[in-house]
């Protein structure tokens, strides 16, 4: 009979215990002992949940204080040497210093874990890197689990992925050169697990789903020939993509089994089954570990049944990847819509789905009362989801069908629009503006929370928000900014705010997933056709516009970012959902324009991060992403000015697509790269207006006027003055008013100083 397991569980705890404990520890309000106790409880709860669900394997080693890449480095003594900590004696404090930095050392760099919204700490490899004895955490976690009995399966990030995901520093030519030294440590770890009595280890090599360079691919053979003889049985886990091009390689590896992601790449299963060696386990992920939908049991069983026939007990039924990317427990949702709830499954529910599917592969068990009842209940829920009027909105379908190419094109080209906009905006050269949000003070957050739990009347809430808008407008006028914003006080989050108001979205109460370290996000769930019942931002922006003669910029979140930072429906292609959001936003844009808000910014900070893992899939993604943006932004008159904003990533490789958005103005984060990004915009000859950030808003530090002047001069050396805007890198919601007052005063003064030099005819010099 097949076996059931998952690749990992969320480590944040049902009530985000990890976050609260770790943050209390950082503030010095919790002892290390108490923190350790919290970790023990989360791990125990996770083991309990797996046992209760009836899984055959209890997966352990998936709990980490900050990040699994950092923990793996700690295990093999590979923390960056610059922290100067003895690897074998690494304390929890030392571990957190590597993650967060301290007065002497900056934190390790953070980047996105494949195409998820989780961020890992990037290993630093230099010629000085030596691996060695590390911390004992994994052996402790295993011992803790073994003490309870049952079959314990530790999970460990594999050596090739650990190396590949790092960065070469201090002139190291090739991090693969560190492999022999690293393997000595993996041998030590795996041998030690074997001594502990572990029989199977899940070793994760997710890099197999990337465009893997030849030498890395080749290394798999020698690495696993070296590790297998001393290790417990190894289940080599791949996920996040199709690895069928490596099917022969994987079949030939001496590992005891391989895991495949059957959710994001179901087609690859046939390739593998056709050539799978007699003695090897094949673990097949059929329960989606990255989304919140209930598994279609009948469909999943139909996929598994032939595999079970072919493989017998060598088939393992699994989640597609680690469940850390989905919320913990649907049972924590008190107020969720009753029907939508029947369509969902969070991590705890997914454990049960995996176990149930495994049982259903046995004919007698499938016929049993409880299994057939579960299948019937699921079929009912799936059928309701297919036909529910909550999901399917004929008006949205009609509008989608009526879309033509003309909807994705502004009436005129950029030069024509620019002169129409200049005519009424009458902005000075180097116009100044901000990215949207102003400080989210505790008073603002309290007002929003009170209103939500009905402790504040609608009128009182409106008045509080209007007072914030008045304050923001007054201050912006005092700074001397040219294009103002209303400040976004009403928004808790740039995606959730809109998700709350659009049909087809539902907001959960406790649907948190880890973003990085102690930080969690709560993505909305897109369950149905997206529809705009009434304008979402017009009252706020129009109110701000009434208060001033300066133009006020309306603020929206773009379709790709809405999609990227939500749980997306799995019953239609992502691009169709993006287009529905675009149509809803298009109406919002029209409503703003009609209300006299004729500068409108549509933020797309997540455009770059939506890129698929494999480069071959980039063109089709970029095509639909750009199309969606153009659909939402093209319905306006020539003299309405469309802005967009991007941050968080390097954009060098997608400049043609950024230009294809055809926004009149783009503001981008550039301060930290010291305008380096602009070189790319110059080389590409970016055609429209551009506002490279001159103020790093992620830091409390207030830049001086001189610093910002230097950045403006550097920008002027690459972008003609007529197309250059002056603005911060990103929104100001995490700053306080004192910082914002000084920084924006300095920014406007810097712009004025440069304007003066420009009008005196001084050519900008390439800044040193």
Binder of ligand GLN out of 8, 10, 321, 436 (CB under 6 A): 436
Q: How far is the CB of 645 from ligand GLN (least distance, A)?
A: 5
Q: Is 94 one of the binding residues for ligand GLN (CB under 6 A)? A: no
Q: How far is the CB of 501 from ligand GLN (least distance, A)?
A: 16
Binder of ligand GLN out of 22, 260, 295, 555 (CB under 6 A): 555
Q: Is 494 one of the binding residues for ligand GLN (CB under 6 A)? A: yes
Range list of β-strands (E), 449-597: 484-485, 503-506, 513-516, 519-521, 525-531, 552-557
Binder of ligand GLN out of 300, 599, 636, 647 (CB under 6 A): 647
For tokens 């199709």, name the residue: 242
Helix (H) or strand (E) holding 203: strand 200-204
In the complex with ligand GLN, the residue whose CB is nearer, 618 or 648, is 648
Binder of ligand GLN out of 243, 730, 740, 748 (CB under 6 A): 730
| Residue 444 marked as a ligand binder | no
Options 14-22, 136-144, 314-322, 730-738: segment touching ligand GLN (CB under 6 A)? 730-738
494 binds, among Zn ion, ligand GLN, none (CB under 5 to 8 A by kind): ligand GLN
Q: Is 435 one of the binding residues for ligand GLN (CB under 6 A)? A: yes
Helices (H), 247-346: 247-252, 268-274, 297-311, 338-342
Q: Supply φ then ψ for residue 543, to 5 degrees.
A: -60, -45
Q: Is 354 one of the binding residues for ligand GLN (CB under 6 A)? A: no
Task: Give the span between the Cα atoms of 334 and 339, in whole angstroms.
Answer: 13
| Residue 17 marked as a ligand binder | yes
Alpha-carbon Rg for the chain, nearest whole angstrom, is: 27
In the region spanning residues 517 to 556, those forming contacts with Zn ion, defined by CB under 5 A, are none
Contact, 701 vs 676, CB < 8 A?
Answer: no
In the region spanning residues 454 to 493, those forming contacts with ligand GLN, defined by CB under 6 A, are 488
Q: How far is the CB of 608 from ligand GLN (least distance, A)?
A: 12
Options 237-245, 291-299, 412-420, 430-438: segment touching ligand GLN (CB under 6 A)? 430-438
Q: Is 658 one of the binding residues for ligand GLN (CB under 6 A)? A: no
Q: Supply φ then ψ for residue 603, to 5 degrees.
A: -75, 135
- Orientation angle between helical segments 369-387 and 347-360, nearest 10 degrees: 120
* Beta-strand relationship, 119-121 and 110-112: antiparallel
Q: Is 231 one of the binding residues for ligand GLN (CB under 6 A)? A: no
| Residue 553 marked as a ligand binder | no
Total Cβ atoms within 10 A of residue 373 = 10
Give the burial string for 46-82 (b: 16+ CB within 10 Å, else e).
bbebbeebebbbbbbbbbbbbbbbbbbbbbbbbbbeb
Structure tokens at 173: 């030519």
Options 73-81, 87-95, 271-279, 431-439: segment touching ligand GLN (CB under 6 A)? 431-439
555 binds, among Zn ion, ligand GLN, none (CB under 5 to 8 A by kind): ligand GLN
733 binds, among Zn ion, ligand GLN, none (CB under 5 to 8 A by kind): ligand GLN
Task: Give the span between the Cα atoms of 243 and 103, in whole angstroms.
Answer: 43
288 binds, among ligand GLN, Zn ion, none (CB under 5 to 8 A by kind): none
Task: Give the span between the Cα atoms of 16 and 24, in whole angstroms.
Answer: 13
Q: Is 134 one of the binding residues for ligand GLN (CB under 6 A)? A: no
Q: Binding residues for ligand GLN, how many (CB under 6 A)?
A: 13
Task: Give the span between the Cα atoms of 403 and 385, in whole angstroms.
Answer: 26
Task: Give the span between the Cα atoms of 209 and 245, in whole angstroms.
Answer: 10
Q: Is 437 one of the binding residues for ligand GLN (CB under 6 A)? A: yes
Residues with catalytic roles: 698
In the complex with Zn ion, the residue whose CB is nearer, 255 or 730, is 730
Total Cβ atoms within 10 A of residue 537 = 24
| Residue 755 marked as a ligand binder | no
| Residue 674 marked as a ligand binder | no
The H helix count followed by the E strand count for the chain is 28, 22
Q: Is 694 one of the binding residues for Zn ion (CB under 5 A)? A: no
Q: Is 236 one of the binding residues for Zn ion (CB under 5 A)? A: no
Query: Which residues are 135's β-sheet partners?
Result: none
Task: Give the span between the Cα atoms of 466 and 469, in whole angstroms.
Answer: 5
| Residue 205 marked as a ligand binder | no
In the complex with ligand GLN, the residue whose CB is nearer, 343 or 543, is 543
Q: Is 494 one of the binding residues for Zn ion (CB under 5 A)? A: no
Q: Supply φ then ψ for residue 26, to 5 degrees.
A: -60, -35
Task: Give the span between the Cα atoms of 696 and 64, in whole angstroms.
Answer: 30
Q: Is 647 one of the binding residues for Zn ion (CB under 5 A)? A: yes
Helices (H), 595-661: 618-633, 655-660
273 CB-near residues (< 8 Å, 6+ apart): 282, 306, 307, 310, 311
In the region spanning residues 720 to 749, those forming contacts with Zn ion, defined by CB under 5 A, are 730
| Residue 520 marked as a ligand binder | yes
Options 537-545, 581-589, 613-621, 729-737: segment touching ligand GLN (CB under 6 A)? 729-737
Task: Give the span between the Cα atoms of 691 and 550, in whole angstroms.
Answer: 19
Binder of ligand GLN out of 56, 603, 662, 664 (CB under 6 A): 603
Task: Give the span between the Cα atoms of 664 and 689, in whole angstroms.
Answer: 6
Query: Which residues are 259's β-sheet partners?
Result: 237, 283
Task: Give the span between the Cα atoms of 524 and 503, in whole angstroms.
Answer: 12
DSSP state of 576: H
The string of DSSP letters for 543-567 reads HHHHT-SS-EEEEEE-HHHHHHTSB
In the complex with ligand GLN, the residue whose CB is nearer, 130 or 672, is 672
Options 70-78, 429-437, 528-536, 751-759: segment touching ligand GLN (CB under 6 A)? 429-437
For tokens 């494999």, name the residue: 614
Options 537-545, 614-622, 640-648, 670-678: segment touching Zn ion (CB under 5 A)? 640-648
| Residue 91 marked as a ligand binder | no
Q: Is the dihedral of CA 576, 579, 583, 584 positive or negative?
A: positive
Options 43-51, 95-103, 363-371, 435-443: segment touching ligand GLN (CB under 6 A)? 435-443
Q: How far is the CB of 616 from Zn ion (least distance, A)?
A: 29
Q: Is 562 one of the binding residues for Zn ion (CB under 5 A)? A: no
Query: Would you list which residues are annotated within the binding site?
Result: 16-19, 112, 117, 435-437, 488, 519-520, 565, 603, 609, 645, 647, 669, 730
Q: Name the site residues for Zn ion (rule: CB under 5 A).
A: 605, 647, 730
Query: Would you list which residues are annotated within the binding site for 5-methyltetrahydropteroyltri-L-glutamate?
Result: 16-19, 112, 117, 519-520, 565, 609
Q: Name the site residues for ligand GLN (rule: CB under 6 A).
A: 435-437, 488, 494, 555, 603, 605, 645, 647, 730-731, 733
């Amino acid at each position: 009979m097949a076996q059931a397991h998952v690749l990992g569980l969320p480590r944040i705890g049902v009530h985000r215990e990890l976050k609260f404990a770790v943050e209390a520890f950082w503030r010095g309000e919790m002892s290390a002992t108490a923190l350790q106790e919290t970790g023990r409880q989360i791990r125990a709860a996770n083991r309990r949940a797996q046992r209760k669900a009836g899984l055959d394997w209890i997966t352990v080693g998936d709990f980490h204080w900050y990040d699994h890449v950092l923990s793996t480095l700690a295990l093999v003594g590979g923390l960056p040497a610059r922290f100067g900590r003895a690897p074998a004696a690494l304390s929890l404090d030392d571990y957190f210093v590597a993650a967060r930095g301290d007065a002497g050392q900056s934190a390790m760099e953070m980047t996105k874990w494949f195409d998820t919204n989780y961020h890992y700490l990037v290993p630093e490899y230099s010629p000085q890197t030596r691996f060695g004895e590390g911390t004992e955490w994994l052996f402790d976690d295993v011992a803790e689990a073994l003490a309870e009995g049952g079959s314990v399966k530790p999970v460990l990030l594999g050596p090739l992925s650990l190396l590949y995901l790092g960065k070469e520093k201090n002139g190291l030519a090739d991090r693969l050169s560190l492999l022999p030294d690293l393997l000595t440590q993996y041998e030590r770890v795996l041998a030690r697990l074997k001594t502990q009595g572990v029989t199977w280890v899940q070793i994760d090599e997710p890099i197999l789903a990337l465009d893997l360079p030849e030498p890395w691919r080749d290394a798999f053979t020698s690495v696993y020939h070296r590790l297998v003889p001393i290790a417990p049985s190894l289940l080599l886990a791949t996920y996040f993509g199709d690895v069928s091009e490596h099917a022969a390689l994987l079949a030939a590896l001496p590992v005891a089994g391989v895991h495949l992601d059957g959710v994001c790449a179901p087609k690859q299963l046939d390739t593998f089954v056709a050539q799978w060696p007699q003695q090897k386990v094949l673990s097949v992920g059929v329960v989606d570990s990255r989304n919140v939908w209930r598994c279609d049991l009948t469909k999943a069983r139909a996929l598994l049944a032939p595999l079970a026939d072919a493989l017998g007990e060598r088939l393992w039924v699994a989640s597609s990847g680690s469940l850390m990317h989905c919320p913990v427990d649907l049972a924590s949702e008190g107020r969720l819509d009753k029907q939508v709830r029947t369509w969902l499954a969070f991590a705890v529910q997914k454990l049960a789905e995996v176990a149930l599917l495994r049982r259903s592969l046995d004919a007698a068990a499938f016929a049993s009362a409880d299994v057939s009842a579960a299948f019937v209940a699921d079929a009912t829920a799936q059928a309701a989801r297919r036909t529910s009027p909550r999901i399917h909105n004929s008006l949205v379908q009609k509008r989608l069908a009526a879309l033509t190419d003309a909807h994705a094109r502004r009436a005129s080209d950029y030069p024509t629009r620019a002169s129409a906009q200049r005519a009424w905006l009458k902005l000075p050269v180097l116009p100044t503006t901000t990215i949207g949000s102003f400080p989210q003070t505790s008073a603002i957050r309290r007002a929003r929370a009170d209103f939500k739990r009905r402790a504040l009347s609608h009128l009182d809430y409106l008045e509080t928000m209007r007072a914030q808008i008045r304050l923001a407008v007054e201050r912006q006028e005092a700074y001397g900014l040219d294009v103002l914003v209303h400040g976004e006080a009403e928004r808790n989050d740039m995606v959730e705010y809109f998700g709350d108001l659009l049909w087809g979205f539902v907001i959960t109460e406790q649907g948190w997933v880890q973003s990085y370290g102690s930080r969690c996000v709560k993505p909305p769930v897109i369950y149905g056709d997206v529809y705009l019942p009434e304008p979402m931002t017009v009252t706020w922006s129009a109110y701000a516009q009434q208060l001033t003669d300066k133009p006020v910029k309306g603020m929206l979140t773009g379709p790709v970012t809405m999609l990227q930072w939500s749980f997306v429906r799995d019953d239609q292609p992502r691009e169709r959902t993006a287009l529905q959001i675009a149509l809803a936003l298009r109406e919002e844009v029209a409503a703003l324009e009609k209300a006299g808000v004729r500068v409108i910014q549509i933020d797309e900070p997540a455009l770059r991060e939506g890129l698929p893992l494999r480069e071959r899939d980039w063109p089709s993604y970029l095509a639909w992403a750009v199309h969606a943006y153009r659909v939402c932004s093209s319905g306006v008159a020539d003299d309405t000015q469309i802005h967009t904003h991007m941050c968080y990533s390097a954009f060098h490789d997608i400049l043609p697509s950024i230009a294809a958005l055809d926004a009149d103005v783009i503001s981008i984060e550039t301060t930290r790269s010291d305008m380096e990004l602009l070189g790319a915009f110059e080389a590409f000859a970016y055609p429209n207006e551009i506002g490279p950030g001159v103020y790093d808003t992620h830091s409390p530090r207030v830049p001086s006027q001189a610093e910002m002047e230097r950045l403006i001069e550097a920008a002027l050396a690459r972008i003609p003055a007529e197309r250059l805007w002056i603005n911060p890198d990103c929104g100001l919601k995490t700053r306080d008013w004192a910082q914002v007052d000084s920084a924006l005063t300095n920014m406007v003064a810097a712009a004025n100083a440069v304007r003066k030099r420009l009008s005196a005819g001084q050519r900008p010099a390439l800044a040193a």
